Chain A
């Protein structure tokens, strides 16, 4: 079946640095990918929709300049957390719709845990 992979699975960085997280669809093309953020013991909150060939669509309250999203190809979307601060520490998860939409099913990556010191 379709698989979505994220890298890295965990990353620790110093405050003020930037961190890039990759999300790849392994055996299907994804013109759209979704980025979520999950705080400890809380639900997933949609941050933005990544669109291949165009700008990402951000949810209300998400800083576009802090969370840079680039959908470089039909199989790769990246989330860059710029000038990271401790409050950006979180679990970031990407997902992509199944190729045979509109079934509505999403395939989720394994998640990337970011810790900012």
Chain B
């Protein structure tokens, strides 16, 4: 079955610290992988995506993610977190017409 797992429900980091949000997927074919961010009461904004090619992809707001086929993972990273990064982060897999979302990771940033 196709699925996305985000093991961390809630993560708290200090401003300026590094960040890694985990995402594991189960998908039959070569996946399209996405990371979206959702601020409270808002829709989703695309941070980055992976379709093929270089397994390290750069996104907006200083985020990057690395596709590791052997680990079925697509972890999101940021070297230095800003207070404005506090939000809910969703990993998603699949083509756009059947996008499967993980349950999300809520990021809290302390000053």
Contacts and interface: CB of A to CB of B under 8 A. Distances in A.
Determine if chain A interacts with chain B.
yes
A42 to B, nearest CB: 6
Interface stretch (B13-21, B74-82, B89-97): B89-97
A103 interface: yes
A117 interface: no
B18 to A, nearest CB: 25
B63 interface: no
Q: Of B34, B41, B45, which is in contact with the most chain A CB atoms at under 10 Å from its CB?
A: B41
Contact-size category for A = 20 to 34
Contacts of A91: 41
Interface residues of B, number: 22
A32 B102 CA distance: 23
B110 interface: no
A44 interface: yes
B83 interface: no
For the residues of A in contact with B, the DSSP-based class is strand
B49 A108 contact: no
Interface string B23-46: 000000000101010000111111
Given A34-B97, A104-B95, A105-B46, A43 B41 contact: no
B11 interface: no
B45 A44 contact: no
Contacts of B96: 34, 97, 101, 104-106
Nearest to B46: A105
Contacts of B97: 32, 34, 49, 97
5 contacts: A43-B103, A44-B90, A101-B96, A104-B96, A108-B43
